[in-house]
Amino acid sequence: MLTRRQFLLTSSTAMAQSPSRKPNIVFILADDVGYECFSPYGSKQYSTPVLSRLADAGVKFNHCYSTPLCTPTRVSLMTGQSNVRNYTDFGALRPGEYTFAKLFKDAGYATAIAGKWQLDGSNRVKGTAPAESGFDQWCLWNTGLTGRNRYWNPSIDLNGKLKSATKDDYGPDHYSAFLLDFIERNQHRPFFAYYPMALTHGPFEPTPDSADRNSKNNQKNFEDMVAYADKIVGRFVKKLEDLNLTRNTILIFTADNGTAHDLQSTLNGHTIHGDKGSATDGGTHVPLIVYAPGLIKGGRVLNDLVDPTDFLPTFADAIGAQLPANHAFDGRSFLPQLKGEKGNPRPYIYSYYFPRPYAEKYDTPYAHPEIRFARDQRFKLYSDGRLFDLQSDPHETRATTNPAAQKKLQAALEAMPAHGQAIPREYSEKSKNVPIPKW
């Protein structure tokens, strides 16, 4: 790995080079980890030097917000649509959906995915396999073939067959090695490498770098897992450097939702409790770092709003591909902002959250009543009329009034469907009178 000074000099040199083909995309999605766990956002508790270097040489977004839970975010990311249009159930991607992998495949890209899938379907709803979503190759945990182990002695679906593993095998090493090999094999053609990490989701187990391989301390193990995730990102950067691909590759790092509930972090003197599953900032505020030294000017911090629906149109913009005209996409490309242009920034984010619509009770953040909200960088309005000033009240403890914000965000809510379009209306009706609790 280059030193920070060499890294920045290399990035500046690469900026002057003209790419000779469509850009490669490496898209890394961390699992269950909020923005507060990364040094580019001010953390001194967690060790993430690679991501700090990427942020220094790339573009860091301060206002990227996911949905509060993994499957809803993954569905939205892959399809470019709000969950209100096509979310069916936890663990399912509706068959036949247009995905970002299909976008790349149609454009002649080699496509591969490794890490966590979790989209094959639920007991109530049919899902989608990796090949049906547009991936040529995969190395995945949590498909219809795999067992429960994702870390030590992992259960891995390798292109439709179970891969043998032992107690000394660490899943994240296998997933990342598969994609690194894919990059090397496809270095002479455009490629899309999607890495939805298993890290840092529970169970919180020691990593290969942990001092105590028998540790049961969830907080310490989680901190080690964040450090190991950063280390793996470094492997991707090194591979791109070794193959001279950094000048024509866009590497993106983000996360699917906030940190788990039983974990806490210190950031700028404040204690932040994980709030995964809840619609608060603690459940939705995630990192977004883009590193593309040959294609964008680095060393910048942007306050534009970004949500999961924005990635697919951004990818299409980056590779010059046309999106299907008969398909409703809810995102906006943020490629112009990456290039230093004004672009078309979002005035707000609209979010729909109904993670387990068939649950008997909506009594946990993972079995939540149907909710809709709209927000900007400061204010957040729920469909029941509650408005919060997140600048002074990030935990949403007291509703406030602000006529201008209320008007803007109410218009955002009214522009989208009032209920999930892919979920039987009876389940929306069942949950509508359930108050949104605090966990």
Residues 422 and 273 placed together within one structural domain of the fold: no
Which pLDDT score, from 0 to 100, does residue 7 have? 47
Would you place residue 20 in the very low, low, confident or very high pLDDT band (cuts 50, 70, 90)?
A: low
**What one-character-per-residue DSSP string does 101-114 give?**
HHHHHHTT-EEEEE
Q: How many domains does the chain have?
A: 2
Residues 101 and 21 placed together within one structural domain of the fold: yes
Residues 359 and 399 placed together within one structural domain of the fold: yes
For residue 257, pLDDT over 90 is answered with yes
For residue 16, pLDDT over 80 is answered with no
Residue 54 lies in a domain: yes
Domain's final residue, options 291, 317, 338: 338
Domain's final residue, options 308, 338, 368: 338
The predicted-structure confidence for 367-416, as pLDDT tens digits, reads as follows 999 999 999 999 999 999 999 999 999 999 999 999 999 999 999 999 99
Residues 234 and 148 placed together within one structural domain of the fold: yes
Cα separation values, 177 from 24, 133, 160, 171, Å: 18, 22, 18, 10
Q: What is the mean pLDDT of residues 342-350?
A: 97
Domain's final residue, options 305, 338, 371: 338
Which pLDDT score, from 0 to 100, does residue 309 have? 98
Residues 226 and 362 placed together within one structural domain of the fold: no
Contact 31, 255 (CB under 8 A): yes
Would you place residue 214 in the very low, low, confident or very high pLDDT band (cuts 50, 70, 90)?
A: very high
Q: What is the mean pLDDT of residues 411-435?
A: 94
Residues 281 and 417 placed together within one structural domain of the fold: no
Residue 438 lies in a domain: no
Residue 439 lies in a domain: no
Looking at the DSSP assignment, which residues form a beta bridge with residue 92?
Answer: 120
Which pLDDT score, from 0 to 100, does residue 433 have? 85
pTM score, two decimals? 0.95
The predicted-structure confidence for 177-211, as pLDDT tens digits, reads as follows 999 999 999 999 999 999 999 999 999 999 999 99
Would you place residue 436 in the very low, low, confident or very high pLDDT band (cuts 50, 70, 90)?
A: confident
Average the pLDDT over each of 12-21, 367-376, 421-430 and give the range with the smallest value. Answer: 12-21
Contact 285, 256 (CB under 8 A): no
**What one-character-per-residue DSSP string does 50-68 give?**
HHHHHHHHSEEEEEEE--S
Residues 100 and 31 placed together within one structural domain of the fold: yes
The predicted-structure confidence for 27-85, as pLDDT tens digits, reads as follows 999 999 999 999 999 999 999 999 999 999 999 999 999 999 999 999 999 999 999 99
For residue 164, pLDDT over 70 is answered with yes
For 411, the enclosing helix (H) or strand (E) is helix 403-414
More confident residue, 52 or 12: 52
Would you place residue 21 in the very low, low, confident or very high pLDDT band (cuts 50, 70, 90)?
A: confident
pLDDT, mean over the chain: 94
Would you place residue 8 in the very low, low, confident or very high pLDDT band (cuts 50, 70, 90)?
A: very low
- Expressed as residue numbers, the domain containing 121 is 4-338
The predicted-structure confidence for 271-324, as pLDDT tens digits, reads as follows 999 999 999 999 999 999 999 999 999 999 999 999 999 999 999 999 999 999
